[in-house]
Amino acid sequence: MANERDTHFAGFARLVAQELYENGLLDLNHAAVYDAPGMVVEIIAQRAYDLAIHSFESVPDEKQSEYGDPPDCVKHVPDINQWSDLTRTNR
């Protein structure tokens, strides 16, 4: 059963998996990356979620009241479904 941690950053995870595939670092059938969210995409999405939670948890206690509970904050962070021009040029 999918949850917020599995799905919130799935678009980002697909982009990373595609980039790994295109650079010969991921040996998967090309269609598998885009069809059903496989284990690779799910793991990347989960770790992106974990990083977002960690980032919000790292906010000093005096600022936490401004931002609220980390999982509530992450809900407001949009997924990335395509790389911006900035991220494409800084690789």
pTM assigned to the model? 0.72
pLDDT tens digit string along 13-44? 999 988 888 888 877 665 555 554 478 888 89
Q: Where are the domains of the chain?
A: 4-89
Please name which of 2, 4, 1 lies closest in space to residue 53, comparing C-alpha atoms: 4
Terminal Cα-to-Cα distance of the chain (whole angstroms): 35
Position 38 scores a pLDDT of 77
Span 62-67, mean pLDDT? 74
pLDDT at 91 over 60: no
- Which position has the higher pLDDT, 76 or 27? 76
pLDDT band of residue 90 (cuts 50, 70, 90) is low
Q: Could you tell me which residues come within 8 angstroms of residue 17 by beta carbon, excluding any fewer than 6 positions away?
A: 26, 28, 33, 40, 41, 44
